[in-house]
Structure 1
Amino acid sequence: MLHFVVAEQHEEDEVRLMALYSSKYNAKRMGDSNVMVIYDEFGELLIERYLTDKGQQ
């Protein structure tokens, strides 16, 4: 399970980013906070993508 905080300067940017993580990685928001959780199978996809992108730099 991957927990992370979405912190942007403007609240509307946080909301947009949380919506993106929700749709792309099935992230779930923890209550009304800016903490999100991505469960194992979806977290693996995100980590693989991150590692692949880092390898291409």
Structure 2
Amino acid sequence: MKAQVLPEIVFVEGQDLYRNEIINHDIIFRLDKLVEDTVLMVETFKSLRQKQEDDLF
């Protein structure tokens, strides 16, 4: 099995939380960007896999 790793890392420290909720807007922005990059990567690999399967048949 092969893994694909995104180069982004988001650290959340105690000072970024209040009552278990993220209050630092930069952290929220970086998490949103990480989600977008993850979805894009999944869709890209899905498209590539479909193209490979179509080329085989």
User: Aligning the two structures, in what range does the TM-score lie when normalised by the shorter sequence?
Assistant: 0.3 to 0.5
- Between Structure 1 and Structure 2, the one with more strand by share is 1
**Alignment TM-score, normalising by the size of structure 1:** 0.42
Tell me: higher relative CO, structure 1 or 2? Use CA pairs within 8 A at least 6 residues apart.
1
Tell me the TM-score normalised to structure 2 length.
0.42
The structure with the largest helix share of the pair is 2
